[in-house]
Every structure is written in structure tokens, then in C-alpha cells.
A and B are shown apart, each in its own frame.
Chain A
Amino acid sequence: MKLMILDKSALAPMVNALRADYRVVGPQARGPQFAFDVITDPAQLRLDYNTTILPPKKVLQPQYERLLSFNRREYQVTPIIEATPTVLVGVHTCDLHAFLLLDQAFSREYPDAHYLERRRQTVIISLECLEPCDEYSFCRSMGTLTSDTGYDLHLTDLGTAYAVHVATETGRQILSRYATVREATEADVRQLNEVLSAKWPRFTYRLDFDAAELPALLGAAYDHPLWEELGERCLACGSCTNVCPTCYCFNVFDEVDMQLVAGERWRCWDSCQLDEFARVAGGENFRKARSARQRHRFMRKGKYLYEKFGELGCVGCGRCIRACVAKISILEGFNAIHQSA
């Protein structure tokens, strides 16, 4: 892995140069919060953002997406794959870990052409977190405070410049074509190491136990009284899963024209927290109670996905805790289960 130095004053010219050939997506201010969006002016890019309302997952799996078009008269079905060459800038490492999990979800068993094509066309420039992004994040507990994979380029703020880890050939080409950089000196490497080791104590562990214990803990907590308690507080609004970087469930629906001949098949994000999510043909709803649905979410994040992909489904970004108007905290939930175990 090669280390380069990008002067901060060279960032805006780099973004502008990239915009000629790519859609550049990065964190921008949205009211008092932040959101990943298309950059039309480098001044919009806010690498000092804390976190975003929705995770950058939406770049790889958009909220709404066309899958195919059909014509009933001509018995014709045409796949639609909407992918644009994109540079995604400023991804925090928690979201990088989430991407690695999504990659597995969309490439195993039933490879998803739509996701995979967008993934292929997306260049990822990630960002090392040097301070906790906000009061809700617990990335250090979940082992996502850093990452040595999942990106093409990785930036670390050194004050007046960024240290740039070049991880892939794509990353190397991006730098050579679009950016003015220099090779890191020994002094730069020393400074980088200092910055990196200084950051860890700022992130306090939030989980009272080792996250590796989660699958076993949850395995024994299926009948835990916590679920009933959460069921009473939960509004079943689906915000927790909609802001989650590792949730990938979707619903599929058709839009037809007025002649009822031609149309398009769409998919959109879905949520296991919604009343009707688990209703199946015949009318049976096998997760009717809000308590059962909250339990399902905790199990997905701390147990089921681990069993499926070998990675925990929670990256500790804290978005679900912030988004919950009923103040349900997955962190407090995990800790409560540990405490009573």
C-alpha cells in the first residue's frame, strides 16, 4: 500500500477534475445534519461532517430503483441497470465495513446485477475518523473504527494535508489523473502514525462486553423480557432500519401505463419493523407483534448476519439510535442483555 500526500488546497481542484468524468457524491450539510449527495460545487463537500442521516449505502442500493421494463402486448421484458461512474468521497470506516457486508449479501446466492454493476462503477475514497462523530456512535466496540480494505483511496487528516493510502490500481489512476499529490516523506509517515495512535483513546468503548460475544448472548435471549418492553415503546415507523447501513431488504412493485400494456418494475427499501413486512400469501403475518419485530432487528444485527456472512450486522454507526423518536437504543439493548445474562 502506497502513501501519498494531498495538500488540502488541492482537494477542490481534484473534485472539480473528477466531476468532468464522474458523478462525485460526498457529505453535504442538510439543515443541522448532513447527507450524501451529488457534489456540484467543491465547496459543498463537508469532510468535517459528523455523520449523515442516511448511510452512503443509497449510492449502491438507491431508495427507489427501476429493475426492468415490460410490455404485455409484445411479451417483452428488458432489464434496466441504472449505474453511473461515481466517485464516493468521505465514507467513514463504519460505512466501509457495512459495504463489505452488503457486497456479500448482493453477490452470494442470487448475485444482484443492479447492485454489482453500481459497485463496479463506484470508486470509494474513504476517510479516517479521528474523533467520535457524535454521542451515539460506538464504532470502536464493533471493530469498525478503522479498515484496511474496502476502499480505493483512504484519507487521513494531517492538519494542512491528507495522507492518502492508495489501496487499488483504480485509486492509483485516480490520483495520477485528477490530483496533484506528492509521495509521503518519512516525516509524513511519522506524523500519520502519531495522529492514528492519538485517536484511539478519544473513542471510548460503549459496549460493556466484547462484541464477539453478541451472537451467543442473543442466542440465549430469544425470550428476554427486553423485547416486550421495546414493543411497547416502538412506533414501528421503520426509521431504525431505513437509516441502517447494513439493512438491505427491499420490496418490489410495478408501475403500468394507463392502457395497462407497458410498465416498469421498481424496488424500494423495505423494513422488517413495519406491520405488514412479514405478511405472506394466505394472510398470515408471522411477526405481528412489535416486540417480535424489534427482537428480529437485534437478532439480525447481532446474530443472524454473523451466522450468514461471518460479520456482525451492526457497525456501531449510531444512526438508528439518533433516528428513533422513541429513544430505543440498540447499544443499551445489547448492554441490557449482557447485564442480565
Chain B
Amino acid sequence: MTTLNVNVHYVTRVEGHGDIVVDVKNGQIKECRFEVVEAPRFFEAFVRGRPYYELSHITSRICGDSAITSRF
């Protein structure tokens, strides 16, 4: 029976950091995890206390490339 240990230390060709961990023992999946190892930016916390008209401009930087379309 298959015993497998997959440890993808960061997935490529995607936006965002993620690792994949798969642990297979005797054909049985014991563990299968997608780990998000990205440094958090804390948007929910730092928008507190900002002027309301800024919020769409700041939160659209969750993905800055599409900042303008996100604003709408």
C-alpha cells in the first residue's frame, strides 16, 4: 500500500504564499493541509479610525493591481 509524504514548500505560479502538506500512510490520507504562510497585513485592524472616504482607497490595496476596479 502507498505511503507518501508530500511537502510542497511554496506553491508556484499563484498569487499568494501557500505550502501543501500531504501525509499518506497505507493508502489512507492521514493529513492534507494547505498552509497559508504569508505575512499578514492586518487591513481589518488598521482601517479603524481612518476617514470613511479613504476606505475604498485603502482596502482596494488588498490587491493594488486592481485597486481602481475594486474601488467601484
- Whether the complex brings A and B within 8 Å at their CB atoms is answered no
